[in-house]
Structure 1
Amino acid sequence: MTESFATLVPFGLGGLKLWEGSLDLIKVLCSDIKNGLISFSGKRVLEVGCGHGLPGIFALLEGAAAVHFQDFNAEVLRCLTIPNLNANLSGESQALSSNSTICDKAEVRFFAGDWSGIDKLLLPHVSTDADHNHGDGYDFILMAETVYSINSLQSLYNLIKKCLRQPDGVLYMAAKKYYFGVGGGTRRFLSVVEKDGVMTSSLVAVITDGSSNVREVWKLAYK
């Protein structure tokens, strides 16, 4: 149901900013679904550094079997992600609480912690089951604006390799080409990926609206 993109609304809370990358990512996902390139139906999805959680909510509305939301701060999950999820699922399921759970559509869980260790919490919840013949890990990992700090790129990439299902898992990344002043950006992250040599990357979209740095959406998968 690709029309679900139009229903996504950010639940506003003070200075917790909705970054452009989340919306860029949803537009790409919507296009790829429309063109028959991907489907979230019955799939397991992880949104890394979720904030408002719009990409994860989109996957949920598109029929994902499980959507897990991760953020460094538990407060962000409680005060932003969960209220935003409830706002977008209004009338479709019972309200979700900070203790994670199952809505009418899918399993929905929330995980707070640093990328260097959060896999220990995530992976026990994506073990193989009889109805899913794809092995451990997430079918899709979604992330927007997570590669701004050069100091965290390696730990982020390590998390992705641990959590993305092999051999067919897909990562979608939306971010700015460069984050001036902090050293990160899509190109610095891709240099980490290329050095490892395990995954391939393809540029899906470039956004140059004149109001911000050049933004990009990339798709990564195992070779």
Structure 2
Amino acid sequence: MSFSFGFSGDDIDHDVDESQTQQTPAITTQAQPPASYSAFPVAGKPQLPATLHSLSDFLSQLPSKLAYDLLDIDVADDGASETRLRLPRRELWDVRVQLMAEDDEVVNGEDRVDDGGLGKHDVKTGIYEGGFKSWESSIDLVKVLAAQDELTAAQQASSLRVVELGCGTALPSLAMFTWIMQRQSRSQWHQKPCSFILADYNPSVLRLVTLPNFVLAWALHNTHNPVLQDAFNIEGELELSPEIIQAFEQFLSSSGIHLSFISGAWSPEFISCLYDLPAFSSDLSAPITLMVGAETIYSPFALQAFTQTVFTILERERGSGATAAAYVAAKRLYFGVGGSLDDFIEAARSKGATVAELREECEGVRRGVVHCILQQS
């Protein structure tokens, strides 16, 4: 008998009040055929190795169309310059349609881990599919990023590096990507190298949800582009073509924006993959590195691995003279599975970090967002 997370309920819906809570993770037992790797990190089981993925490879695997919905986030109450933000998210059913159309490799009668447990089937009881969904804490984190206005500070830096750990649908990174496009439109963004490093345990999440959401965000902001003239003929769908993919790549290149993808477990190999990226190997002085993570500390095992990864990066950045900070959003307590935001705060302070608690949600399941830095020695 093996254990797996059973996250119930749908992902956040745009017509549901943002304060509405989801059911909390619970441990369920279910007989499962043995597999080489689990669909999410589990203590004592083999972990997926850290792997770099190329943007061009993921782009080549996009389907001919993407179905999406829009999530409206009100950031006016948080002192942000922008009062409302609309972010696209690929529909979960559309992910399943793509997987059913692909020739899936089956191992021991189960869908390969690269499919994140979705495969050719509908939702399967006891299978973790959190990486494909958006969680409340990611919205909390977007609101904090809006209020902190990190992009204004980044204008004084030589480059900006955003590392989202456990990115899933990548709402925080999508928000920053969208704000950059908005500032470009108003001539309020002085072009500089800007890298988004999207990391998730499952490579399937990166190729099926994370990258498609970036393509959708770009397309919805650039509907005036002639190449997109007929791309939105059906409401809630973006028709893709080689010309549209090429225009997306050209936009990234001309804007100095780089997208990188890393899958696999948080580990020394993950750190090596990160620092092998051009964004971290350049000799630009005074860069800013922002780490963001939402709903990543749902168990003691995940908490330990996440904390170690965050502080390894913070320490390396401090040693190189970069300005670095981490924004972490999570529930105050993950009932039944351990892990909590308070445990992370305690661990961070024990490592010498300055931790500021920036936001707390008290309705329903309590959640919070904290900001962590290591002071220069």
**What's the TM-score, normalizing by structure 2?**
0.51
CA contact (8 A) 1:59 1:67 kept: no
Q: Distance in 2 between matches of 1:163 and 1:152?
A: 17
* Corresponding residue number in structure 1 for 2:301: 151
1:81 aligns with one of 200, 204, 210: 210
Q: Distance in 2 between matches of 1:123 and 1:186?
A: 27
Q: Distance in 2 between matches of 1:170 and 1:4?
A: 24
| Matched letter for residue 217 of structure 1 | V
Deviation at 1:209, TM superposition (A): 2.7
Q: Distance in 2 between matches of 1:59 and 1:80?
A: 17
Aligned ranges 1:133-144 → 2 under 5 Å: 133-134=285-286, 139-144=289-294
Q: Distance in 2 between matches of 1:78 and 1:215?
A: 29
1:47 aligns with one of 164, 171, 176: 164
CA contact (8 A) 1:51 1:77 kept: yes
Q: Does residue 26 of structure 1 match 2:142? A: yes
1:187 aligns with one of 325, 329, 342: 342
CA contact (8 A) 1:7 1:88 kept: no
| Matched letter for residue 108 of structure 1 | L
Structure 1 residues 50 and 2: alpha-carbon distance in aligned structure 2, compared to 1, 3 A threshold: farther
Structure 1 regions of 5+ residues with no counterpart?
Answer: none
Q: What is the CA deviation profile of residues 120-172 of structure 1, one whole-angstrom value per residue up to 9, with x for unaligned ones? A: 11111133534x3136xx61001111111111222212211232321631100
CA contact (8 A) 1:5 1:58 kept: no
1:204 aligns with one of 349, 353, 358: 358
Q: Does residue 127 of structure 1 match 2:280? A: yes
Secondary structure of the structure 2 residue equivalent to 1:142 = strand
CA contact (8 A) 1:5 1:30 kept: no
Deviation at 1:74, TM superposition (A): 0.1
Structure 2 regions of 5+ residues with no counterpart?
Answer: 1-79, 94-128, 181-192, 226-243
1:9 aligns with one of 67, 88, 108: 88
Q: Does residue 161 of structure 1 match 2:311? A: yes
Deviation at 1:38, TM superposition (A): 5.6
* Corresponding residue number in structure 1 for 2:372: 220
| Matched letter for residue 30 of structure 1 | A
CA contact (8 A) 2:252 2:258 kept: yes
Q: What is the CA deviation profile of residues 83-105 of structure 1, one whole-angstrom value per residue up to 9, with x for unaligned ones? A: 11111111549548xxxx95543
* Percent of pairs with identical residues: 27
Q: Distance in 1 between matches of 2:245 and 2:85?
A: 21
Structure 1 residues 142 and 220: alpha-carbon distance in aligned structure 2, compared to 1, 3 A threshold: same
CA contact (8 A) 1:4 1:62 kept: no
Q: Give the structure with higher Rg (CA).
A: 2
RMSD over aligned CA atoms reads: 2.7
CA contact (8 A) 1:72 1:114 kept: yes
- Say how many residue pairs are matched: 211
Q: Distance in 2 between matches of 1:46 and 1:56?
A: 8
CA contact (8 A) 1:40 1:62 kept: no
2:259 aligns with one of 104, 108, 111: 108
Secondary structure of the structure 1 residue equivalent to 2:266 = coil
CA contact (8 A) 1:153 1:192 kept: no
Secondary structure of the structure 1 residue equivalent to 2:282 = coil
**What's the TM-score, normalizing by structure 1?**
0.83
Q: Distance in 1 between matches of 2:253 and 2:348?
A: 35
